[in-house]
Structure 1
């Protein structure tokens, strides 16, 4: 008897007492859970996203579309970056105000080459307010997954309010499960059994999120979590 026949035999025995007309599991389990918590509007949802991003130790900045290029240039300069990785479909105007070396996302590029790049700038697919999560799906303005996992500094641009949703179920509705999805909640970090936090283990040590949208007054504001660099 092959392994396949042995496994299928176990499945048949386990299902021997199941009636043929029994309600399938997918229908038997109630799915009437809340799709989101609260009834806040677009402004409240964006504020919740900013709050939860900062709680995860991401650095949050806000600006208008006209200010974006200068904000990104300032963040790269503030980090001391000499080079920046660029996805193939990134809006060229986003980096118009900086003159640092740009490294293209090449199919034949190596992880070692990316490890020598100081920063990466990308867009995102969607941002989830309730969990403070940014989701990338490998689109041209985001690049391949390794582009945002190897460099130590990631600047991610989120268009508000159109790319911001309240909950995970709402976010999933906008995503294609066949695409390479990367879910980011703050900078990469891990803790040992004594809860000593170490950042930059599985990805960027520093995550900066720029919320871009119409904002009265035109003043750029930043939210830094307590104890951040």
Structure 2
């Protein structure tokens, strides 16, 4: 596979202008996910002063959003709450493997999914995040002990996200099995899987490299809130 396309540098924007348009709130050229779906803002690749003004109106004073991409200056109309590095990986060809134990998770499973995310902190997961795509889980004695699913969906690519395992069941390869299972569904849809992990998460980076993933981008996550008047 060659280098990843430019749109992977700005995944939220191209998802919300493409397959996830149904989940978008829009002002001018700016997009954001509906707040109960995800906390992400989609800015054009080269945002103008007007784009930033539209973003401030779309987000609203007192609310925070996050955007991913190359480092860019943030205007005085926004306050930076937090910023951290991220590594983006793309899966190798024919990576997916079906997982016979995996169960498809639906709206009735959301309370358990939210609880597992709160316990393990794989990244944001909200009551309607499940509307982004297909989520799979593993259960033991009826309890949800691991999960993974699809978040950003942009042309040609679907992100694997919310990969987490209950602390009592770690070290058994459950996360890797679910990553492959989610990837199998993505590949069957004719798309390529990709994912993100924190730039300081050496364990996850080693795991994805061992699984054959290749780095497509190094970027930042910037959490901001409108500064108000």
Q: Determine which structure has more spread, i.e. the larger CA radius of gyration.
A: 1
Q: TM-score, normalised by structure 2?
A: 0.25
Q: TM-score, normalised by structure 1?
A: 0.25
Higher strand proportion (structure 1 or 2) = 2
